[in-house]
Structure formats: C-alpha cells, structure tokens
Structure 1
C-alpha cells in the first residue's frame, strides 16, 4: 500500500490523540516535579528542610529506655544541643469529649518549638507556649472542632481528655487537598504539652526528636552532631531512624534533575541528528559542485550559501554544548551505598542484610506526621519520574511516528504541539492551584521540554532535514 493511499485510508485522530497524551504527561510531570521540593520545604515550618529528626524505632523487642525522657531532653538542650532549636513529640490515641459529643482523636504531646518544625496553620488563637508546659491546654484542628462543637470558634472552651478538662487555646487548619488527603487518618488531631501527656497516658513515650541544622550540604555533619548528642545521653543511634531533611530535599531535587536530564538527552540526540545531516548536506553539496568546478570557483560562486551553512553548523554545535551544560549534574549517592570496589560481593551482601534487619527492626514502627508526609512526597516523585520516562516520552514518540507515517505536514504538527503544550501548561498550573501545591515554574526546564518536543517534530517530520536543507535544489 502506498503512503498516499495509507493516509486516505487511516484517520489522523488516533495519532494526534496519542501525541496529545504524551505532551500532557510531559508537561504535567514537569510542573508537578518542580512543586514537590517546594511543598516539602513548606511542610517543614519555619526551618523548612533545615532539620534532622531521630525517631525511636520502638519495636516490641526493645526496652522502654530506648525512648527519650524529659530529663534527656533537658540535658540535650542545655549541653550537647545548646545552640540548636530542638522540638520533640509523642503520639497517643484517645477520645475527646464535649458535653454529650465524643470523637476519636490523635493526641500529640509536644513542646512549644514543635510548630517551628511542622506546618501548622493557626486559624485562631495561638500554638502552645513555653509558659503553658504545665497547664492543661490544647490546640485542636478544624476537623475535631467540627466533630465536637460543629463550628471553629472554640478558643476558650474546654474539652475532656482522659477524664480531665483542657482549655482550647488555638485552632489549627486542616490541609484538605493533596498531601492532607493522602495522609488523613479519618479523625481529628490535638496538641497538648508533652509533660501533661506523660502524666495522663501510661504507655506514652517521647519517641521523636527534631533538631535545626546548620549544614545544608552532604558532608554528614548534621548526622554526626545528632549521633554525638544521642551518645551523650546514653542512646544508641541504631535504635533510631535518622532523617536529614537537607539530604531528603536534595534527593527530591535530584529526581527533577534526572527528568531534566531525560528531556535534555532527547534534545541533544535531535540536535546531533540535525548537525550530522547539516554536515552531510554541506559535504554532498561540495561534491556536486566540485564535479564541474574548482574549489576557488565553488567558493566564489556559492560563498554566501557556504557561509550560512557553516554558521548553521557552528550554531547547532554551540546549542548542543549549551544544552549539555544546562542538564549536567553531580549524582549524589549516600556514602553507605558506595563500595570501595565495584565488584565486592560481601559489601552488597551486607547491604542487603542490613536492609532486611532494618525492616525487621522497624516492625510496628509508627512514623511521625512529618515523616509520613515525606514518604508521600517521595512516592509521588518516584511515580512522576517513572511516568515521565516510561509513559510521556514513549507516547509522544509513538504519536509522532504515526503522524510521520500519515505524511502529516510539518506546520500542522508544529501548530498542534504549540497549542496543546500551552493548553497543557495552563491546565497543569490550574490543577496545582486546585490541589494547593506550590506554583513553582522552572522556566529553564519548561523551555527545555518545549525545545525537545519541537526539535523532535522537525527531525521526524521535515523531509528537507534529511539532507540538511542543502541539496534539495537541482543543480544545472
């Protein structure tokens, strides 16, 4: 079947639909990927990602002494971590009551600095203060306020916890959108002073510690400072899950850089293809001219054309180098995952064994709210990167290949891609706003994706690109 007949027999709509789906995935993954590190920073409160946490693994086989005591925390704040902001928390579940209304609630016993390490948006009142650490006061969220009082104007009222009356001093807002929805437990949360929760809940233990950091790099200084502090109160770091949020943010950004690298690689492949064709076109042109003319005659007669051809080659080479410079980055791998020798069976065996032991040790481990949010963001980032590489680009290339088989005109495909990319960009921005994710637009990355798309379109569809646009004319 001839190509012209194939075009008549087949509709172009399926090809453009596949092309549109690929462009939609590429654009959305670019916008979402840029917003995730910003969301992680927002969830970190005042200190953003400038913090490191230690959470007691708390398996049933571990002694109670593995958790923190108030005396331990006072010692840390006065000595080992004297110059650092420090927050701690414990978690329990109980029922909160107001008159005849009752509701299950997650109770977090915290100190006054806890709000500096977590995103707590106060709707009314204030968060717990240092002066209130011995008082029966509470901050509740809007969900619990609605469940008990059917409204949010409850500052100054009292709720019953563990048979005691707690005065409400503040109401915190709930995140009803993406991260809040994915981490919602289905019931409200309230915050009370940690000292009071220790008095009321027999099984309560201070299990989570957060410390502000002073090093935003990958030197390991933050972990060393925290490990030294834990050792000073007789704690073994092996009993704690330690997360440096500086590194967590860096690894999340690295996911964006990998996606950025993928788009840049596509652009470089297409640029190299155009560069090769342009050079072949100049070479073929010169060979044709030299059949009937000497070099000086060819240069004299076609100097302008040759100069423009060489300038185009130089420009493509310069753009190729510029793209490489914009997408190159240093891949960060945690040092504990790097062997001294590439072929080291014992290292990989020990790494696998350690991973299995960690999972066993973490049996029954309850991640604190901040870590749950980090895990959700990392999961979204991983899926976003996977869909970009293994769905977005394949769909786009498949749709483009189908339009090539149908002999669609270059201008038509370019116009379609232009309109749909702009529409996908607008739709993605609106969707981020609806789900209350940070609207972060990385202009360089968006332009790189757009450039990769149009370079690929030109390379696939433009027939003149096959000879560099140099030998399409007939010579007499």
Structure 2
C-alpha cells in the first residue's frame, strides 16, 4: 500500500508565501516613514539641486558663497535653505589619526538631515568664520576612545578645530547600506573653502511649501538658479515630495493587488449566490406561483438577498479602500498614445544625462533616497512575483492532499499573526520605524482568508443557496 504523502512541504511553501506577503506589507509602510525621518525638521518637504560635476562649465556650474547670500536675501528669502560641499582628509588628535569625510555646511544643514546629536550642539550662524567642528561618534571613539569630547580639539588640514557636538551614528539598515567607511566631520562651509583650494559648494537644499505634484517647487528652484546665472540643466534636481509620493504609491499598488484578489473572490461568491437563488426560484416556480413561493420561502429569500447585499457592500468598501490615482511624472507621458519621436528623444536625453553625470558623486541624502527606492522596488516585486505564487502553490498542494478547511484557516491565521510579530521585531532590530497600517494588514488577511475558503473548500465557497436534493 502506498504511504500517504506528507503535508509538511505544502504547508512550508504556504508559510513562506504568507511570510513574504506579511513582511512586504510591514516593510513597505516603514520605508516612506524612514525617508521622512532622514529629512530632519523638514522631512520630505524639500527640493535639492546637486551640481553635475562633469557639466560643460565645471567651475561656473558650482555655487559660491556670494550665490548663497544672494539666494538667501532675494530669490529664496522666504525659504529655509542649506548648502554643502564634500572633501576628505585625515583627522588627528595627538598620535591618533583617522581618515574622515569632511562636509562643509551652513547652520541650517541639520534641519534637512537626520543628525542625532549625542552631546553638544550643531554649527551656528555665528560660527561661520570659526574653526569649529561636529564629529560623529565613530571618529570620537577612534581619536579619543570615548564620546565625551565636546570642548576638546582635533586637527584638520594642519589646524585645530574645537568640537562643539558629537553626532550619533546611524545604525539602521539604511545607515549601514550607505556607510562609506569613513568617519564624518561637519565644519563651516566658508572655512572649508579656505582650506581646500579645489573645493566647490555643490549641493543646495530648499524647503518646499507645495506638497503636490504641480511642479511648482521645481519652478521656484529653477528660477532661483537662473537668477544667479546658473543653468538648471547642469544640476540634478530632486523634489522629495514627489519622491515620497512615488515610494508611497508602490505601497498603494501592493494594496491594490491584495484588494483586487479579495474583490475577484467576492465577485465569484456573489455570482454563485445569485445563480443559487436563480436556480431555487426556477425549481419552486415549476409547481408554484410567485405569490406562493414568496409567501412560503420569504425568510430564505430574504436571507439570500441579505447575503448578496452584504457581499456587494464589502466589495464596494474594499474598492473604496484600495483605489488611488496613479501618478506618472509628466516627462514620461507623451502627447500622443503612439509617439516614436517622444521615446526616441527620451532615450537620447537619458544617454546625454548619463554622459553628463559621469563622475557624479551623489550627496548623502540622495544616496539614502536611492537605497530606499531600491528596497521598495524589490519589496513590490517580491510581493507580487514571489509572495502570491508561493501562497497559491502551497494552497494547490494542500488541496491535492484534501486537507480540512478549518485546519488550513487556523494555520494561515496563526502563521500570519506570527509573521506580523516577526516582521515588527525585525524592523526594531534593523532600526527602521515600525509602522503598522491596520488597513493594509486587514487587506492582506482578508485576501488570504477568502482565497483559502474558495480554493480549499469549493462547495463551501460556492455559497449554494439550496441543493437540488432539498427540493
């Protein structure tokens, strides 16, 4: 006699599918929150312009302190703005030395970036001409073997800088992935320009007052650049409002997939419920009039109609929950549906931008944004093309084994709660904000539950109003 096939592999595949679906939901919600957290006081309400170092006019393409003062006093006087430049040198204290990334910044830089000061304070406007520095805790440990170093001095470029603050290192997943392997020192931009003859102010950040997608933020910044004689084409401009919107949109798309699965299943149940009532009425009307059928089976018909109305209400509620307006950047939309020249120009512009940005070094904020976008893209891909296939494959194998519906439902419910707890714990471990959207979790749970009911126990899911034998 052939031994019974083990159900463990099928349940393992099912568990992996549920784990991927649950984890992608938890992680997806935390990524936009992390982006906002990395933006300091202004969060994602900022727009940046970074000099493409390989532009046609390399020296004229970067900013000067005079440009920054002009923007502050005139074109961008109603906006907070920060600017920065990068260099690298050796930081020393007595016999201890460590390679360091030096960021020359103004006093508003910490309002646009997450700089968690462990002690002291960030650079102030009054210290613009002073040799002061804020160092990170890694450099403090490397030079002093402790972090209580506010008021002490380090040597940069052969000069002494007084330490005014110590910034905590970012130990989160994003901080680890964007770590360049160097310690970080913040000093006034004016001082760095004096010490580094070849240094240039290459990055400008401006707060935004329009959270929409109208292009107003970019227009304001491009006008400001033109006012100081700069060509906006020589800069990479990123509106973080739009970047955050696009990142959140991937979460909405993931929710749309889960909700659509639930709606399709509910529509199947609705169709079968209506068909059941139709067959019931046809059978009753063979030997009864409408009035007799309604009088004798009023309760049964009322319950059937109530179930239909409930299914329709749930479908409408789900649709209201998952629908969203898809945003596509205007530069990616042709004027005509089929426009070969548009796509040819887009391809040519992409090639030109790639050639122009050869040697371009993204600033820290842009690197973090790129990492977050990459994680979010993979998160959506794995949710749709790994999570759902694994889940459905596991259900198919379990159906072949003729497992009981209640057993599968209990397993899915318990494992999803366990996966949700595990996902939250992992977020805390990798120091990502544990954002749990109740609506998103319920969407995934309802999609899983309805799929199990329909897939495993078809007759139960058919919702037959009445069987032929009962007539």
Q: TM-score range by the shorter chain?
A: over 0.9
Q: Quick check: 1:18 aligned with 2:21?
A: no
Alignment partner, residue 349 of structure 1: 344
Is the counterpart of residue 438 in structure 1 residue 433 in structure 2?
A: yes
Is residue 2:48 matched to residue 1:53? Answer: yes
Counterpart of 2:255 in structure 1 is 260
1:451 to 440, 446, 449: 446
After superposition, the CA RMSD in angstroms is 1.3
Alignment partner, residue 185 of structure 1: 180
Quote the Cα distance in structure 1 between the aligned partners of 2:176 and 2:280: 63
Contact 1:280 1:467 in 2 (8 A): no
Q: Give the match for residue 295 of structure 1.
A: 290
Q: Residue 60 of structure 1: CA displacement?
A: 6.8
Paired with 1:77 and 1:196, the residues of 2 have a C-alpha distance of 19
Query: Deviation of residue 465 (structure 1)?
Result: 3.5
Q: Deviations over 1:134-192 (max 9, x none)?
A: 00010000111111111111111111111111111100000112011000111200000
Structure 2 partner of 1:397: 392
Q: Matched residue of 1:64: which SS?
A: coil
Q: Who is 1:161 aligned against?
A: 156
Q: Quick check: 286-295 or 251-260, which moved more?
A: 286-295
- Which residue of structure 2 lines up, in the alignment, with residue 358 of structure 1? 353
Q: Given the alignment, which residue of 122, 128, 134 partners 2:123? A: 128
SS state at 2:60 partner: helix
Q: For the Cα contact (< 8 Å) 2:32–2:247, is it kept in 1?
A: yes
Q: Distance in 2 between matches of 1:467 and 1:374?
A: 47
For residues 294 and 72 of structure 2, the distance between their equivalents in structure 1, rounded to whole angstroms, comes to: 80
**Do the aligned partners of 1:279 and 1:468 also contact (CA within 8 Å) in 2?**
no
- Correspondence 1:77-476 to 2 at 5 A: 77-465=72-460, 467-472=462-467, 474-475=469-470
What residue number does 1:30 align with? 25
Equivalent residues of 2:102, 2:186 under 8 A apart: yes
Q: Distance in 2 between matches of 1:60 and 1:281?
A: 70
- The answer to whether the 8 Å contact 2:81/2:108 transfers is yes
Q: Distance in 1 between matches of 2:458 and 2:297?
A: 23
Q: Distance in 2 between matches of 1:206 and 1:460?
A: 61
For residues 48-68 of structure 1, give each alpha carbon's deviation from its aligned partner in whole angstroms, at most 9, with x where no partner exists: 011100000111754211100
Mapped partners of 1:312, 1:60: distance in 2? 66
8 A contact 1:41–1:48 mirrored in 2 = yes
How many residue pairs are counted as aligned between the two chains?
Answer: 471
Q: In the TM superposition, what is the alpha-carbon distance from 1:473 to its structure 2 partner?
A: 6.5
Give the TM-score normalised by structure 2: 0.98
Q: Is the 8 A contact 1:280 1:468 kept in 2?
A: no
Quickly say closer, same or farther: Cα 1:414–1:466, change in 2 above 3 A.
Answer: closer
In structure 2, runs of 5+ residues without a counterpart are: none
Structure 2 contact 55–234 (Cα < 8 Å) conserved: no
SS at match of 1:159: strand
Query: Residues of 1 paired with 2:278 and 2:463: CA distance?
Result: 10
Distance 1:365 1:180 in 2: 21
The change in CA–CA distance for 1:466 and 1:105 in structure 2 (over 3 A counts) is closer
Within 2, Cα distance between the matches of 1:389 and 1:148?
49
Q: Distance in 2 between matches of 1:401 and 1:414?
A: 14
Q: Deviations over 1:348-387 (max 9, x none)?
A: 1001111111111111001111011100100010000000
